[in-house]
């Protein structure tokens, strides 16, 4: 299976490395279309004869085309690749806010996939939500699922509108996690730990808590109850969260991200 990746920024590089590491594709089966030599240096595994600086007949050889350019650059890229596309190729877009309808209008082919990955995809621990046009058959959907799983976990949704929800929850989610981690690190420093000590405490706490949650079917609320004994230290902290409506603020923030994602997609 031949794969063409358009754009070798963070996500393009991530997919190239993940596909190679998982043996989903070999270097000879992978082509890059890039606009600068920076992409070439990031991916020394790809042979020079499979790296291109402008669109051409080589595009016709691709079975799957991953478009990972910046959304604002897409209107320039689309017309250059359209003449070389055919109806059997699958185009997978990881561009934020670019709808399947927009892809269809600009590229003129039926088999289209829109995906929303997140930052941990760079280390194979990402969460990707994707939707596709109805022209993809079950086998092709399975192939795309496996491709996206090389960067972590992938979830298919029939309703494309849920990609705005995914953007708000998992796409932007790592920033929320880092926000809370940063606040806890600062609190640890104020309580007497060195920055390195505070960072270790918080990093391991988050890592351990997530692994524990993944290994059980217990809800987050039940885990909270297991940690928070009546009249204890955890309950004192949770009381402050409750009084300051932290849960409501988090939900409001995520809803704001959702609305912004919808605006960007118009």
DSSP letter for each residue of 74-139: HHHHHHHHGGG--TT-EEEE--TT--HHHHHHHH--S-EEEEE--GGGGGT-EEEEEEE-TTS-HH
Is 11 one of the annotated binding-site residues? yes
Place of tokens 């402008």: 54
Strands 30-33 and 90-93: unpaired
User: Which residues, at least 6 apart from 171, have a Cβ–Cβ distance to it below 8 Å?
Assistant: 96, 116, 117, 118, 261
In tens digits, what is the pLDDT along the chain, a chain of 266 residues? Answer: 999 999 988 899 999 999 999 999 999 999 999 987 766 777 888 888 898 989 999 999 999 999 999 988 999 999 999 999 999 999 999 998 899 999 999 999 999 999 999 999 999 999 999 999 999 999 999 999 999 999 999 999 999 999 999 999 999 999 999 999 999 999 999 999 999 999 999 999 999 999 999 998 999 999 999 999 999 999 999 999 999 999 999 999 999 999 998 888 77
Q: Which two tokens stand for residue 221?
A: 């609320």
**167-186 residues labelled b (16+ CB within 10 A) or e (exposed):** bbbbbbbeeeeeeeeeebbe
For residue 37, what pLDDT is reported? Answer: 72
Listed by start position, the domains of the chain span 3-158, 173-264
Report d(CA 77, CA 55) in Å as an integer: 9
Is 152 one of the annotated binding-site residues? no
Is 7 one of the annotated binding-site residues? yes
Neighbours of 157 (CB within 10 A): 15
Is 8 one of the annotated binding-site residues? yes
Q: Which CATH topology does 173-264 take? A: ProC C-terminal domain-like fold (1.10.3730)
Q: Which class does domain 3-158 fall in?
A: alpha beta
Is 154 one of the annotated binding-site residues? no
Q: Classify 91 in phi/psi space as left (phi over 0), alpha (psi -120 to 50) or beta.
A: beta
200, 203, 205, 207 alpha-carbon torsion, rounded to 10°: -140
Listed residue (64, 59, 58) closest to 24, CA to CA: 64
């Amino acid at each position: 299976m031949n794969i063409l990746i358009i754009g070798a920024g963070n996500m393009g590089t991530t997919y190239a490395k993940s596909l190679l590491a998982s043996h989903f594709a070999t270097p000879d089966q992978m082509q890059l279309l890039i606009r600068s030599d920076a992409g070439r240096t990031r991916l020394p595994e790809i042979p020079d004869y499979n790296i291109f600086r402008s669109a051409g007949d080589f595009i016709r050889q691709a079975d799957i085309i991953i478009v990972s350019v910046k959304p604002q650059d897409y209107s320039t890229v689309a017309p250059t690749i359209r003449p070389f596309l055919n109806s059997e190729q699958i185009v997978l877009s990881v561009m934020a806010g670019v709808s399947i309808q927009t892809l269809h209008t600009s590229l003129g082919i039926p088999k289209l996939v829109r995906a929303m990955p997140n930052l941990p995809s760079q280390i194979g621990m990402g969460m990707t939500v994707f939707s596709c046009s109805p022209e993809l058959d079950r086998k092709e959907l399975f192939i795309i699922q496996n491709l996206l799983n090389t960067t972590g976990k992938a979830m298919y949704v029939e309703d494309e509108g849920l990609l705005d929800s995914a953007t708000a929850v998992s796409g932007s989610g790592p920033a929320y996690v880092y926000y809370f981690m940063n606040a806890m690190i600062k609190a640890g420093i104020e309580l007497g730990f060195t920055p390195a000590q505070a960072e270790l405490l918080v990093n391991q706490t988050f890592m351990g808590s997530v692994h524990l949650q993944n290994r059980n079917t217990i809800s987050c609320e039940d885990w909270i109850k297991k940690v928070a004994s009546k009249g204890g230290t955890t309950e004192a902290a949770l009381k402050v969260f409750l009084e300051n409506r932290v849960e409501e603020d988090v939900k409001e923030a995520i809803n704001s991200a959702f609305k912004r994602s919808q605006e960007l997609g118009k």
